[in-house]
Amino acid sequence: MAYRNLLVSDRGAVRTITANRPDKLNALNRETLNELTLAFGQAAQDDAVRCVVLTGAGDKAFVAGADIAEMNGYTPLQGQAFSATGQQLMSRIERLGKPVIARIPGYALGGGMELAMACHLRIASEKARFGQPEINLGLIPGFGGTQRLLRLAGRGAALELCLLGKQINAERAQELGIVTQVVAPEGLDEAVQAVADQLAASAPCAAAGILDAVLQGGETGIDQGLSYETQGFALCFATEDMREGTTAFLERRNPEFKGR
């Protein structure tokens, strides 16, 4: 499928989706949000895709936020619809059932930081900058930023970043638990590829079970969370991959997971 604002490519079982508006630092307008929603829907449906990398075109930005020019003329109802569209996209990514890595070369601000936080792992260049600057525009985060930042980094960091609207560097973002890994700019692709390849070679049912238990468990009590874990654990016993993984250990060889 051809997109106006995205690039989509496959390398083995790794799909890379690139927000491609570099002249606007990959800002999220409505059309880009809709295309991302479609692209992630396709990635979810395609059994050949085991891991998704999400990034932005160019080396200056991952995504510099929701499109301010487009929002400038919105009515409250249009603002509500824009927020709902953005939140649906973030939830779709978070609940994809396959690991999603955010590859962050530069600015991840506002909607860009929200997009990165909806991914499961974040690998950033030392040049990356993070922030929720909406307050500087007379706005609040609208694509889940107040909620996901709260859950990822705690109330102190959420209030500091959202209230002060300031930018933080990748090192500080890692200290806060927002970023998984920080690498030199020239090492970004290699680092992302190594993690993506590892995830793509892992057992999909196990990966899906971990995503489900961690994400659902974060929103519920311990008993319900443990129940998610038991269900996911039990489901793995129905897969060839689990037999292969345990047999390979006993035979002292590397497992070859087939996604069955």
Report how far Cα 30 is from the mean position of its chain's Cα atoms.
19
Distance CA 18, CA 26 (A): 9
Beta bridge partners, 168, equal 130
Q: Which of 35, 70, 94, 114 is catalytic?
A: 114
Q: Tell me, what DSSP letter sits at residue 66?
A: B
Q: Which is nearer to ligand COA, 35 or 134 (CB)?
A: 134
Q: Tell me, what DSSP letter sits at residue 202?
A: S
68 near ligand COA, rule: CB under 6 A: yes
Q: Is 21 helix (H, G, I), strand (E, B) or coil?
A: coil
Q: Which is nearer to ligand COA, 24 or 120 (CB)?
A: 24
Question: How many CA atoms lie less than 13 Å away from 210 in the CB half-sphere?
Answer: 11
Q: Is 182 helix (H, G, I), strand (E, B) or coil?
A: strand
Q: Is 102 helix (H, G, I), strand (E, B) or coil?
A: strand
| Least separation in angstroms between CB 35 and ligand COA | 16
145 near ligand COA, rule: CB under 6 A: no
Alpha helices in the chain (DSSP H): 30-45, 68-71, 76-94, 111-118, 145-164, 170-175, 188-201, 204-217, 222-236, 240-250
Residue from the set 6, 19, 66, 93 that interacts with ligand COA by CB under 6 A: 66
Phi and psi at residue 101, to the nearest 5°: -105, 130
Q: Which is nearer to ligand COA, 136 or 246 (CB)?
A: 136
128 near ligand COA, rule: CB under 6 A: no
Q: How many CB atoms lie within 10 A of CB 46?
A: 13
**Token match 């932005």: residue?**
56
116 near ligand COA, rule: CB under 6 A: no
Residue from the set 13, 33, 67, 116 that interacts with ligand COA by CB under 6 A: 67
| Least separation in angstroms between CB 119 and ligand COA | 18
35 included as an active-site residue:
no
| Least separation in angstroms between CB 135 and ligand COA | 10
170 near ligand COA, rule: CB under 6 A: no
109 near ligand COA, rule: CB under 6 A: yes
Q: Which is nearer to ligand COA, 158 or 195 (CB)?
A: 158
Report how far Cα 252 is from the mean position of its chain's Cα atoms.
34
114 included as an active-site residue:
yes
Q: Which is nearer to ligand COA, 139 or 214 (CB)?
A: 139
Catalytic residues: 114, 134
> Can you give the binding site for ligand COA, defined by CB under 6 A?
24-25, 27, 64-69, 107, 109-111, 133-134, 137
